[in-house]
Structure 1
């Protein structure tokens, strides 16, 4: 009973997330309709596609989070670089963060990214005499970015035990920059393979679509017999499995 209740709560939580992900949901529906029409020529098969909506939405959400993380890392690098430059000319950390906010606004072109909003809240709280190190820790918890957490911890340690904050932040910026450059190099090296993977994924669908449009009765045996429907289902599962496997092959995590 507990397992059923837990599963139901997970489903409700997942469905709640879909309200803000309508674009991905509609995209999934269109793909499902296309597959049911192309492989089964039956709208009834959409019923069997419903359970696939959950992994599909989680996969799309993971891709969105990965993109957001890359954007945040670039913005964080610029923020820390601005802070490092301000510290090098004698500004305090508090004033350096204010300058970094202005630089982020110029970089973001007024779009108001997550890091910019959190930094703005930090500065507002800082003006009412909240300790900057505690505010940075809170900011890192809200954003949940490893590099920002490390930066906040460094500030806490330096403020507590003493040390050259400018030098430490400079080294942190260099480390972050090297890491991002490595990721960019890997992304460039695997770009061609990603393109090949995308082409190989969609090619079977285009071939089947071409055959069906030019010779509508060619796939009748697949749509009208039990064996044909089984072969179509096996083909769909095989193509899905091959796409997932290919995605893992060309994805390199650092």
Structure 2
């Protein structure tokens, strides 16, 4: 299985439809007060799905990265205890399955590696395949270092221990960075809700205040321009908050 693309489950697809349907109703009400506009906005659901898949893909990669961090820590400990590389992975599979459950992606990948070893496949090749399919930098780096260390006949347990420490530090730095960025992203999304709160408040306290903006061509043009400005500002803010560590 490759991890550079995301396939939505039926549950995720239905949830996405419901979220976009609600968004279509809200946008059509505040910008057009038109049922037709609601259906027109809903047509752009495939565009919304692109962003959903990107979000879920990044979420899955980060989850796998954290699970991988635990896996290599277990492998390093097993190697320090005198286990062979192959037995270290077998032991790691049992512990990862206990920690994250059988449905975890890392559990499935560990299981695939163990099965490959049982079929006399080379461990380095199995790791290289996982690193290439994962599209995760830390996994690729580990597989390359492991392969070089094992084939060169170097001190495997010391090399893997040092590599594990480096990767662990790198992931922790990413975790801190993501925590910082997530707070800024929350502030941005909160600010994006405020215009609707203000419009709702004015519309409730001053009925008819916005009537001139609805039901006529001039109003449609003005509100469409406002909608594009709003969406542009939202996407720009999301892009700024999407800085990678």
TM > 0.5:
yes
1:246 aligned residue: 237
Alignment of 1:155-170 (within 5 A): 155-170=146-161
TM-score by length of 1: 0.85
Displacement, 1:36? Answer: 0.6
TM-score by length of 2: 0.88
| Cα contact 2:27–2:38 (8 A) shared by 1 | no
Bigger drift between 218-227 and 134-143 goes to 134-143
Determine the C-alpha separation between the residues in 2 that align with 1:116 and 1:221. 60
Q: Deviations over 1:185-213 (max 9, x none)?
A: 22333344223212211100111122334
Displacement, 1:51? Answer: 5.4
**Which of the residues 93, 96, 103 maps onto 1:101?**
93
1:120 and 1:66, CA in 2 relative to 1: closer, same or farther beyond 3 A?
Answer: same
1:124 aligned residue: 115
Backbone CA RMSD of aligned residues? 2.3
Q: Deviations over 1:62-83 (max 9, x none)?
A: 1111111111111111100100
1:69 aligned residue: 61
Determine the C-alpha separation between the residues in 2 that align with 1:61 and 1:18. 13
1:40 aligned residue: 32
| Gap runs ≥5 in structure 1 | 1-13
Alignment partner of 2:119: what SS?
coil
Q: Deviations over 1:107-127 (max 9, x none)?
A: 21x252111111112112211
| Cα contact 2:20–2:42 (8 A) shared by 1 | no
2:168 aligned residue: 177
Determine the C-alpha separation between the residues in 2 that align with 1:157 and 1:16. 37
| Cα contact 2:128–2:140 (8 A) shared by 1 | yes
| Gap runs ≥5 in structure 2 | 1-5
